[in-house]
Amino acid sequence: MIEKIGTLIQANQTFLITTHIDPDGDALGSAFSLYWALKSLGKSPSVYLKDKVPYRYEFLPGPENVLHEIPSDTYDAIVVVDCGSLFRVGEGHEKLKEKGALVNIDHHNTSEAFGAFNLIEEGASSTAEILYRVFRSLKLAMTPEMAVNIYTAIFTDTGSFRYENTTSSAFLICEEMTRHGVKPAYVSQMVHENHPKERFLLLGLVFSSMETYYGGRVAVVHVTKEMFKSTNTTSEYTDGFVEYIREIRGVEAAVLLREIGDCKFKASMRSKGRVDVAAVGSRFGGGGHKNAAGCVLEGTLEEVKNKIKEAFYKEFT
């Protein structure tokens, strides 16, 4: 399939690249590295993102104008990266199907083959790792712009080389990227040490909401609209919170519930080791990876917490 995608890239001229809402480092690094790769081939790529680029990823080199409205034009190909389901592109995603041949490049184990072409590698550390192999098959010269996007995508999707997807090939690619100008300390500072102080005011409130179940093996925190308002923050400030919760000794599953509407919560889940949060997420129509998944739950905060608690019953008894 890698060769097929390579051929498709060579044979076409106009591309619209997109990824999931609430974009993370892999989503953006993948989209932007593909943008630069296509540019270097003399193609005409555009990037569409439903949401704005979160502050911690503003340092990533991308197109001068990222589109935030689905353009009216049609394209030779629509490339969706790091997106397990097409709906995760956000509102209006149905329109994309009519705009060009849909190409899906992804590594989620719950990935749906929604494209006309599907390059899905569940074993890949990140979508950027798959793209790196596409670029290799095209014999592309690695530019500094491509390198920093690929490095950051792998760095963030492996939780700074801490998670189980931290494979030897993840390291090998990142090592190669340092030889193309990437400074690991700089990327780490941009991603981890560049937060507005409001984030920590919010973090205090969120941590104070912690409840644990099953003898401390599941920890749940929540963030409400009121908390965002009182600290003058938005959902992008919660990026990484759920990972902190997993750092607690004995915690095997960490859950962050974010109020997204009336009696509606987005659950972000992380686990250590054998606990499969993608299985829990898929019970509620969500998905992801074994150790990182999400879903949307309806009900009051108490009802949603009970649903989560029950959903983990099988994992902890």
Count of residues interacting with Mn ion (CB under 5 A): 5
Nearest CA to 55 out of 199, 183, 182 is that of 199
157 binds Mn ion, rule: CB under 5 A? yes
Residue nearest to Mn ion (CB): 26
| Shortest CB 265 distance to Mn ion, Å | 23
The span of 82-90, 166-174, 189-197, 230-238 binding Mn ion (CB under 5 A) equals: 82-90
Asked if 16 and 46 touch (Cβ cutoff 8 Å), the reply is yes
The span of 43-51, 152-160, 195-203, 288-296 binding Mn ion (CB under 5 A) equals: 152-160
259 binds Mn ion, rule: CB under 5 A? no
CB-based burial label for 26 (10 Å; 0-12, 13-18, 19+):
buried
The span of 81-89, 110-118, 131-139, 295-303 binding Mn ion (CB under 5 A) equals: 81-89
CA dihedral sign of residues 279, 87, 268, 308: negative
The span of 130-138, 155-163, 261-269, 270-278 binding Mn ion (CB under 5 A) equals: 155-163
Helix (H) or strand (E) holding 308: helix 301-311
239 binds Mn ion, rule: CB under 5 A? no
The span of 154-162, 191-199, 267-275, 309-317 binding Mn ion (CB under 5 A) equals: 154-162
Report the residue number, 154 or 255, with the smaller CB distance to Mn ion: 154
Asked if 160 and 192 touch (Cβ cutoff 8 Å), the reply is yes
Nearest CA to 285 out of 49, 24, 85, 22 is that of 85
Question: Token match 């990437």: residue?
Answer: 182
Report the residue number, 111 or 238, with the smaller CB distance to Mn ion: 111
Query: Who contacts 316 (Cβ-Cβ below 8 Å, separation ≥6)?
Result: 213, 214, 217, 218, 252
Report the residue number, 127 or 291, with the smaller CB distance to Mn ion: 127
DSSP, collapsed to helix, strand or coil, labels residue 164 as coil
129 binds Mn ion, rule: CB under 5 A? no
Distances in Å between the Cα of 1 and the Cα atoms of 130, 131, 134, 223 are 11, 12, 9, 42
Q: What is the DSSP string of 192-208?
A: HS---THHHHHHHHHHH
| Shortest CB 31 distance to Mn ion, Å | 11
Query: Who contacts 39 (Cβ-Cβ below 8 Å, separation ≥6)?
Result: 45
| Shortest CB 125 distance to Mn ion, Å | 8
| Shortest CB 29 distance to Mn ion, Å | 9
The tokens for 282 are 């898929």
| Shortest CB 173 distance to Mn ion, Å | 14
User: Hey, which residues between 107 and 126 contact Mn ion (CB under 5 A)?
Assistant: 126
26 binds Mn ion, rule: CB under 5 A? yes
| Shortest CB 203 distance to Mn ion, Å | 24
Residue of 22, 82, 239, 252 that binds Mn ion (CB under 5 A): 82
Q: In sequence order, what E strands does 114-245 have?
A: 117-120, 211-213, 218-223
Report the residue number, 46 or 126, with the smaller CB distance to Mn ion: 126
Q: Summarize as ranges the residues that interact with Mn ion (CB under 5 A).
A: 26, 82, 126-127, 157
